[in-house]
Structures are given as structure tokens and as C-alpha cells.
Amino acid sequence: MPKKAPPLNAERYPARLTRPLVDELVLNALSEDLGLAGDITSQATLPPTASARALMVSRENGIIAGLDLAEAAFRLVGPGLTFRPLVGDGDAVKAGSEVAHISGNARLLMAGERVALNFLNHMSGIASHTRRFVDAVAGTGAQICDTRKTTPGLRAVEKYAVRCGGGTNHRYGLDDAILIKDNHIAVAGGVGAAVRAALNFAGPMVAIEVEVDTLEQLEEALEAGANAVLLDNMGVQTLRKAVALNRGRAKLEASGGVDLEHVGAIGATGVDYISTSKITMASVPLDIGVDIKVSV
């Protein structure tokens, strides 16, 4: 199985979110922040003709993700604002790095700012945390994967942020791949029976993975023809045996107990993927702020 390419920022915007999705998410967020009355503070204190210039600056080191959503916030809040990104998604920034310029009508700019930042900070936080895990397995050939433990409504943007951080996406939902777990195995009558039932059900474009606890189950899964096997909570030595047993027949994914301290050792066992909900659930927003100058 060929090794993965270097992190995705080798090219700018490697796998842009679709425009319809971006616009739907951002309109929803603008509606949430502006309500029926809009930004009443600016209405009360700024002339309608005031203009503003703003500079987004990262206040800490990290990886950028979410510029398309920031752009959409300033485009959809009203006509006439200009958003100019100074870096690209997937780029590493340092504390003090300039991220984007925005200019135009002051009321509009201030009405869009928080939504833009809430997306950008949240997504960059995930990209940055993913990158820490990716760096920790550098050289091992293992890829860092996400899970379905994501914030409700934001799965697409969080999985995109994982890619910006150099990670790889696990399935997007219950609908796009088969992942057989303990209950399915119990009802189907064993690992092999469950995999065969899945092969019977699935067409040519559905990947089938099965979660196993032991090397015996692994062998059973491989013989049944699983595309991938999730090795659940195995220690490093067992993982190494699993890799040997596999002989490249299926993709192997290690899961459970993954943290920054141990992920390197897990990667060194030769597994193909290491999945963890930590990159989406235990990240904190990257501190990107905005400095605004209003002129009347």
C-alpha cells in the first residue's frame, strides 16, 4: 500500500468545500448572530456611511482552515465588502501572522466579523490539533483519521479542517461505508459471517471495515474479505503482530487510547491509520483576532 503524500497545504485549497454548503452554513450562522434586528450597537453609534479596514491576525502558532467560510461571511452579510486572504487553508502561521484584510462599509464589516472568526478559529483549532498528531507520526507512514464524533451540523467543515491539518477522513456518516461493530458481529454470528453479510449487501463502491478485539478475529476478517480492519484498543505489541499477520491484505486502523504521547509508538507499529476523536473533540479554537479601524 503506497504511503501518503505530505500534508495537504502543498497546494492551496486542496479540496475546497462546495459553495452551496459553505453558503448555507454561513447564512445560518449570520442569521443566528443577527436575529431579526441586526447589529443594533452599530446602528446606534456608527453613521451608515462609515467605512472600515480590518486586519485578521493570528495570535498564536497554528494551521489555518476555514478561509472560504470567512469570505462567505463578509460576502453574504451584505454587498460591497472586500475580503482578501493573505494565507491559504493548510498553511502554518505564527503568532503575529497576518491572515486576511477586509474593507468596506463599517456596519457590514462589524456585522460579519464574529461569524467569520467563529468559523475560522474553530476550524483552525482542529487543523492545528490534527497537525500535532500528524507531526507525531511523521516518518511512520501512518495516517491520522477522524471519527463521527463531531459537532452536530458541522461535520463537513470539521472533516475539512482535519484535511487541512494533514489528516485523513474516516467515513462521513452511517451512509457512506460499512463499519461493523460488536453488536453487528454478535447478531450476525461472528466476524466472518458479518463481513460476508456486508459483502452481500454492498455494491462495488462501499468499503467494509470491521472492528476486532483479537488477532483471531483479525484473521477471520481478512479471510472474509474486509477492506479494512479496526484494531480496537490493542497494545503496541499486539498491533505489531496484527501488521505482520495482515501482510497488506487489508488496511489496518488502530483506535482507542490514542494521545499525543503514545501516537508515535502506535504509528511505528506499521498500521495504516490511527483514528481519534481527540482531533475534533479535544481541540480548542486557534486565537485569531481582528483589528478594525473605522473612519467616518
The residues annotated with a catalytic role in the active site are: 114, 149, 181, 211, 232
Residues with Cβ within 8 Å of residue 232, at least 6 apart in sequence: 211, 212, 213, 255, 256
Nearer to its own copies, 150 or 217 (CB): 150
Q: Considering only residues 53, 172, 214, 265, which one is a binding residue for its own copies as defined by CB under 8 A? A: 172
SS (H, E, C) 89-117: CCCEECCCCEEEEEEEEHHHHHHHHHHHH
Gap between the terminal Cα atoms of the chain: 61
Neighbour tally for 96: CB within 10 Å: 10
8 Å CB contact between 38 and 111: yes
Report which residue type is found at 275.
S
| Footprint of its own copies on 95-114 (CB under 8 A) | 106-107, 110-111, 114
**Taking CB under 8 A as the rule, does residue 296 contact its own copies?**
yes
| 282 makes contact with its own copies (CB under 8 A) | yes
Is residue 145 at the binding interface for its own copies, with CB under 8 A as the rule? Answer: yes
Query: Which of 98, 176, 216, 259 touches its own copies by CB under 8 A?
Result: 176
Q: Is 66 within 8 Å of 93 (Cβ atoms)?
A: no
Q: Is 131 in the site for its own copies (CB under 8 A)?
A: no
Residue pair 142/274 in contact (Cβ under 8 Å)? The answer is yes
Query: Hey, what's the torsion of the CAs at 264, 268, 273, 276, to 10 degrees?
Result: -30
Looking at residue 83, its amino acid is: F
Is the Cβ of residue 131 or residue 159 nearer to its own copies in the bound state? 159
Q: What's 138's DSSP letter?
A: T
> Which of residues 55, 86, 92, 177 is near its own copies by CB under 8 A?
177
Q: Does 126 participate in binding its own copies (rule CB under 8 A)?
A: no
Distance from C-alpha of 44 to C-alpha of 23, rounded to nearest angstrom = 29
Q: Which of residues 45-104 bind its own copies (CB under 8 A)?
A: 45-48, 50, 52, 76-79
35 binds its own copies (CB under 8 A): yes
Q: Tell me, rounded to whole angstroms, the distance of Cα 108 from its chain centroid.
A: 29
Residue 122 Cβ, how far from its own copies at the closest point, in Å?
A: 6
Site size for its own copies (CB under 8 A) = 117
Residues 211-250 that bind its own copies (CB under 8 A): 225, 227-228
Question: 185 to 214, contacts with its own copies by CB under 8 A?
Answer: 186-188, 194, 196-207, 209
We find the least distance from the C-beta atom of residue 108 to its own copies, in angstroms, to be: 8
